[in-house]
Structures are given as C-alpha cells and as structure tokens.
C-alpha cells in the first residue's frame, strides 16, 4: 500500500481501513456516492469501479502494481472517474456488480474491476489484471486504453450494453424455480447432490482452490441425524480432520484462514476472516457433540481464544479481518525455517518437526507452513511418553513458537465492526458458553450482546451495518438483522439475559417491515428506504456467508418456534416455500434454507431443566447441550426466566418435583412425563435420541 508522501485523495476522509490504504494513491479516487457519478455525467466519462477488502492479497498486489504506478494512475485520471469500494462496507454494491462480472467473464473474485456508464450501468468487467500483458493475461494499461477508445468512438453501444446488463441482473434477481413440496425428500436429495462434489481423499469439495463450506457440512450432519446417513457424517469428519490438520488452520494461535490454494488444505491465502471462524466454531462444536471426539472441541476453543486475543475490541465487539500479508510478503507472519524452530525448541525440535512437517527445504516456497503429519503416533511411541504427556509437550512447544511469533510484525487488522459477522460470532460464543460453561465465553457473550445493542442499534430501532472509530454511516442489510437476531436468541438462553430475547423479537418485526415483500413472499437484501441502486437485489444463494434471505428464514423460524409468535414462523414458512424449487435444483447454494427445512419438519423439542440448586441445573443443561440434537432447545430454568413473557408458554408449571432436579421434554404442546432425579435423567439421556 502507498506511503503517505504527496497529497491524499478523497479517500482520506473515509473510516474503512481498506479505503484508507488507498488514500495516498496517485489515482484520484472517489468513495461510492453521488459526487462521483455527478462528475462522470458532467465530464462525460465512464466510471471505473474497483472493489476489494483489506485482507485481500491480490487487492494489495493490484494496488502496488497499478494504482501506485504514476503512469497508469495518470491514464485512469485522464479517462475515467475512479471509484473505490470496500466490499465489506457495501455488500449491496459488491453483489450487484459481481453479478455483472460473472455475466461477462463466467467467474468472479476480488479485486473486482468494473467499467460502467455515468448512470451506474456496467458494460465491461473482470477481476485482477497485471499492469502489462503477461502469462496470457491482458495488461491493465491496455484495457484502460481500449475501454477509453471504445467509449469515445462507440459511446452509444456502451450505454446500450449497460442497459442490457442491468436488465440481465434484474432478471437474475427475479428468477424463480417451480416450487417443490417441503418434505424430507428435499433434504435427502440435497445430501446426495452435495456429496457428488465430495473429495473423499482430502475432504472438502472439488479441487483447488478449496473453501470450507461450513453450511453444507452442517446440512450433511443434519441428514446424518435424520436419516442415519453414515456416509454424510463420515465425510464431515474427514473434512474437519483434514482442515484441522492442514495449513489452513493456525496450529500456534488458533483460527482458520479463508481458504486453501491447493487441494490438500496446506497453503492458504493467509487472511483470517471473522465470518469464517464464526461459522466453523459451531460446526466443530457440533462434531464434538456428535462424535465425542475431544479434538473437535479443542479446535473450537482454540479458535474462540484466538478471537478473544486478537479480534475482540475492549468494548466487546469483534473486528472484521486480518491481512494475508505482513511487511509486504504473503504469509510471512505464519511461516518458519527449520533452523528457527531448532533454535527455539532445542531438544524438543526433532519431535516437533516430525509431527508438523518441518524439513530443511520447507513445504512452501522454501519455508514451512505448519501442518499435522501422520507421524504423531510413531513420534509419541519413540518419545516414551503417554498420550497426555506427549500432547502437553507439544502444546508447550507450540506456546514457545507462538511467543516468538508474537515478536514478528503482525499482519494488518481491519478493526471495523460488521454487524452480520458480529452476530454470527455472538452465536458461536453463546453455543460454546452453553456447552462448556467456560466463564470467559459467557462473559464474551454478555459483553458482545450488550455492546452491539448499544452501539449498532439506532434510536429509531433500526440497525447499522458497520461501525469504525465510533462512526456509523451505512444502514443495516438483511444479513445484519438475521445474524444479529439469531445471535441474540442464542445469547439470551446461554447467559439468561431477557433483554437479548426481547431485542431479538423487536428486531424480527423490524426486519419483516423493512425487507419482506408480502406480494412475492420473499426477502430483499436492502431496506425499503435504502439508496436507489440500479437494481434491488434479492441475495438468494449462499456464498462464503449464507444469503441474507436464507439467514432470515432460519432466524425467524428458530425464534418463532421458541417464543410461539405465529407471525414470525408464518413469514419464515412462506419465504421457505418460495425458495423450495431452488432447494431442489440448486441445493449446493441453499444450505442455510435446508437447515431451516430440517427445523420446519421437526420434531423440534424443548428441554426445560428445573431444580433448587442452580449449579446442578447448569450442569445437567450442559450435558443436554453436549448431545448432538440440533432441533432441541435447552432451558436451564432460573427464577427470572420463569417470568419472561416470551417464554411463558414453554416454562409454565415447570417446577422441581419434590425439590429434585427435573427435566421436562416437550415437543410442540405435548410433554413427556417429567424426568425426576439425576438417575432417571441419565437413564432417559441414554435411551433418548
């Protein structure tokens, strides 16, 4: 990124770390807004739109090669009005123009580069371009010249092409598959279709690059539970084990990088995103509950501890991303030379290197990305240590290397708060708090929920999308509401906070009011009074984050079933029915709605725990939460919770029978005979699925 020599451009007044990285480019950047389009109309110039994000490696490369290049910047300034957008701040803009790029090129990615008319209609686009032609790729300078020449000589054709593109984008938003029945067949079919792309050697889907796909893995676990589909669970376990063992996982500090550049999960583009880790933590917790395997719980807690250590603000919110690069070199913070490890670990170095694939020549560009090898058992046997002592020795080695790594120059961190991602991480901490009882996770859940309600909710009850340095300027999008609603719902039950549940109900009503289209029985991504863009997008299919529409359906269904508020479940089921055809024909993009379908089909159960001893109640609640029962809600009943209006129907008359620990298992309005006493409860747990 640029140093601070020379005069800054208009981005100097922005709060986005990504935009500020470009504030001293010689390019005359505008932020997204009417000023840029007015300048384009007045000067009769096309607009060049560049979209990226702060942790994006190739975004940094294109900046260094092209946007800091004086001659290329001069061409950009002479021929175009140049607009720079942080996709994390403006996912609405990103989605519209990414659709355009995909229509033009058949693929997408970041940095995203789009040429459009002064009215915002795209007529050409792509992703990364090198500054000059190389390796079969046209150079960015040549593209600028060709686009300018065509604009000067064939402006009407550019405008006409732009109108065609807008129509095509609108048509994509309106596409609707013929509805299917909301039946179990959709789930079993989806599992079969998703598994067709399974890599049964290395885990994950497809070849390279390889992404985690957490929502698809969660769907497969639900199908294992519902249909006894052992292949589904086998594949999930394979994938989670390979990811944990690979270089995509940070074996020293915890947390996952965004994706692997290869098929075997070894070499990531080292950026860490809050949203990936927020989705992977619950997945590993579910795997622990389903299998009893301790290492899945370890991965989840190490990842949460990484978030607490490096991605949590003093006030309790969660930061957005960490960069792939440090000191201008991709992955430099994370990679090792064998000599460094030998100097730090001494006699333990040989054992550690054998376990974590450390060799003289390295395994990636002359260096080593730590990953778990198949030599653990052999190394342990040769060490003479038992399993516990051996793992403790390795943990001490990892701690030593982590301490040394902390002395390195850290990757840059994007410290803005994105509400949707914060809502997802709030859910992750709440689930971990409920399963482990760990005080630091309970505290993080409480603190984050209070912070987000205080800072990200406006006086009119609506939400903000992002906050940076105390500034909030973008209204919340659909996924902000949906993720925050689910996060508050989970947090309310995990830390017994009635205000969280009340807020979730209130925000659900605001979400329906702002985003739900009654006539089409579907959700739209932007609120009713949002800035007018070339189209109002629907956001139907899951990507790295599930779609806002699919998240909204799930959040409303979950909250409606918990509280008994019919309007919430009614809207959710109507919207679910609307996308039933897509679930049948494109299940790989509809994982979140398939989870909602599983919940809709039920049976949904509630387990109310009552007792005179609060610690006993919490202990049995943890045992219940550590089963894999994704359609079960566990309520450790406290004196205050018994009076929550939104739970009154669930907890009415649920008392500790004869003063003993008692569990009530209910499905719908029907409850089993209470399980009274620890012995009976444990007998029931052993016989109840």
Question: Which whole-number Å values give the CA distances from 479 to 420, 515, 523, in the listed order?
Answer: 6, 10, 11
Nearest-angstrom CA–CA distance, 425 and 72: 41
Assign domain 10-174 one CATH number from 3.10.180.10, 3.40.50.920, 3.40.30.10, 3.40.47.10.
Answer: 3.40.30.10
Mean pLDDT in the chain? 95
> Does the pLDDT of residue 584 top 90, yes or no?
yes
Please give the DSSP secondary-structure letter assigned to residue 589.
G
Task: List the CATH code of the domain at 185-326+414-601.
Answer: 1.50.10.10
Question: Which whole-number Å values give the CA distances from 307 to 294, 319, 409, 428, in the listed order?
Answer: 20, 9, 19, 11
Q: Name the least confident of 208-217, 306-315, 324-333.
A: 324-333
pLDDT, one tens digit per residue, over 384-394 is: 999 999 999 99
| Mean of pLDDT values over 134-161 | 94
Parallel, antiparallel, or unpaired for β 632-636 and 605-610? parallel
Alpha-helical regions (H) of 263-336: 274-291, 294-310
The token pair at 372 is 């778990």
| Mean of pLDDT values over 585-600 | 97
The beta-strand segments (E) located in 468-567 are 516-517, 522-523
CB 265 within 8 A of CB 246: yes
Smallest CA-to-CA distance from 546 within 554, 557, 535 is with 554
The token pair at 493 is 């039950």
CB 556 within 8 A of CB 603: no
pLDDT, one tens digit per residue, over 345-376 is: 999 999 999 999 999 999 999 999 999 999 99
pLDDT of residue 557: 98
| Mean of pLDDT values over 104-126 | 94
Nearest-angstrom CA–CA distance, 354 and 607: 47
Nearest-angstrom CA–CA distance, 647 and 641: 8
- The model's pTM: 0.95
The residue extents of the domains of the chain are 10-174, 185-326+414-601, 334-407, 605-687
CB 21 within 8 A of CB 414: no
Alpha-helical regions (H) of 203-229: 214-227
pLDDT, one tens digit per residue, over 40-66 is: 999 999 999 999 999 888 999 999 999
* 3-class SS of residue 187: helix
pLDDT of residue 642: 86
Q: Name the least confident of 201-205, 308-312, 379-383, 562-566.
A: 379-383
pLDDT, one tens digit per residue, over 629-688 is: 999 999 999 888 888 999 988 888 899 999 999 999 999 778 899 999 999 999 988 886
Half-sphere exposure of 514 (CA within 13 A, CB side): 25
> Does the pLDDT of residue 306 top 70, yes or no?
yes
pLDDT of residue 5: 63
pLDDT of residue 689: 56
- For residue 554, the Cα-to-chain-centroid distance in whole angstroms is 15
CB 125 within 8 A of CB 117: no
pLDDT, one tens digit per residue, over 478-503 is: 999 999 999 999 999 999 999 999 99
């Amino acid at each position: 990124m640029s140093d601070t020599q020379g005069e800054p451009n208009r981005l100097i007044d922005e709060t986005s770390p990504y935009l500020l990285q470009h504030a001293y480019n010689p390019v005359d950047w505008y932020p997204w807004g009417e000023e840029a389009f007015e300048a384009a109309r007045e000067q009769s110039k096309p607009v060049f739109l560049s979209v990226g994000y702060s942790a994006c490696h190739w975004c940094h490369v294109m900046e260094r090669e092209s946007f800091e290049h004086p001659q290329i910047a001069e061409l950009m300034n002479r021929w175009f009005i140049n607009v720079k957008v942080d996709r994390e701040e403006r996912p609405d803009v990103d989605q519209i123009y990414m659709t355009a790029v995909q229509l033009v090129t058949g693929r997408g990615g970041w940095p995203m580069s789009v040429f459009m008319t002064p009215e915002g209609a795209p007529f050409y686009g792509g992703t990364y371009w090198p500054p000059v032609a190389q390796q079969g790729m046209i150079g960015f300078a040549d593209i600028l010249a060709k686009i300018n020449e065509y604009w000067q000589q064939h402006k009407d054709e550019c405008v006409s092409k732009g109108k065609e593109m807008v129509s095509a984008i609108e048509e994509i938003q309106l596409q609707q598959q013929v509805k299917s029945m909301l039946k179990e067949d959709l789930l079993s079919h989806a599992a079969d279709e998703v598994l067709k792309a399974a890599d049964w050697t290395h885990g994950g889907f497809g070849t390279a690059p390889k992404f985690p796909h957490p929502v698809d893995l969660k769907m497969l676990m639900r199908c294992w539970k519902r249909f006894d589909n052992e292949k589904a669970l086998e594949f999930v376990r394979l994938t989670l084990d390979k990811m944990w063992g690979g270089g995509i996982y940070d074996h020293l500090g915890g947390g996952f990088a965004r994706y692997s550049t290869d098929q075997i999960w070894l070499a990531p583009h080292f950026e860490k995103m809050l949203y990936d880790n927020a989705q992977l933590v619950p997945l590993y917790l579910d795997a622990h509950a389903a299998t009893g395997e301790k290492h899945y719980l370890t991965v989840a807690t190490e990842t949460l501890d990484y978030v607490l250590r490096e991605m949590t603000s003093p006030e309790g919110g969660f930061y957005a991303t960490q960069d792939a690069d440090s000191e201008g070199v991709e992955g430099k913070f994370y990679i090792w030379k064998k000599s460094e490890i030998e100097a730090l670990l001494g006699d333990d170095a040989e054992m550690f290197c054998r376990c974590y694939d450390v060799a003289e020549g390295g395994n990636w560009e002359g260096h080593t990305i730590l990953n778990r090898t198949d030599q653990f058992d052999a190394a342990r046997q040769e060490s003479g240590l038992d399993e516990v002592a051996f793992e403790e020795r390795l943990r001490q080695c990892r701690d030593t290397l982590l301490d040394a790594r902390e002395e390195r120059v850290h990757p840059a961190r994007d410290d803005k708060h994105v509400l949707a991602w914060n809502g997802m991480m709030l859910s992750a901490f709440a689930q971990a708090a409920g399963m482990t009882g760990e005080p630091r996770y309970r505290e993080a859940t409480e603190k984050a929920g209070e912070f987000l309600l205080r800072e990200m909710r406006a006086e009119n009850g609506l939400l903000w999308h992002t906050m940076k340095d105390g500034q909030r300027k973008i209204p919340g999008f659909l996924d902000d509401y949906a993720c925050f609603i689910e996060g508050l719902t989970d947090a309310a039950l995990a830390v017994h906070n009635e205000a969280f549940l009340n807020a979730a109900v209130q925000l659900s009503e605001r979400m329906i009011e702002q985003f739900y289209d009654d006539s089409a029985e579907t959700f739209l991504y932007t609120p009713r009074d949002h800035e007018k863009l070339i189209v109002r997008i629907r956001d139907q299919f899951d990507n790295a984050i599930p779609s806002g529409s699919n998240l909204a359906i799930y959040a409303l269904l979950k909250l409606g079933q918990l509280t008994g508020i019919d309007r919430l479940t009614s809207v959710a089921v109507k919207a679910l029915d609307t996308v039933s055809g897509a679930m049948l024909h494109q299940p790989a993009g509809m994982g979140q709605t398939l989870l909602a379908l599983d919940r809709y089909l039920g049976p949904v159960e509630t387990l109310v725990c009552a007792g005179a001893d609060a610690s006993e109640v919490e202990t049995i609640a943890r045992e219940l939460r550590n089963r894999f029962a994704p359609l079960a809600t566990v309520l450790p009943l406290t004196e205050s919770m018994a009076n929550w209006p939104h739970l009154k129907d669930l907890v009415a008359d649920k008392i500790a029978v004869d003063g003993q620990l008692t569990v009530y298992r209910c499905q719908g309005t029907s409850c089993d005979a209470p399980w009274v006493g620890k012995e009976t409860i444990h007998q029931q747990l052993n016989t109840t699925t």
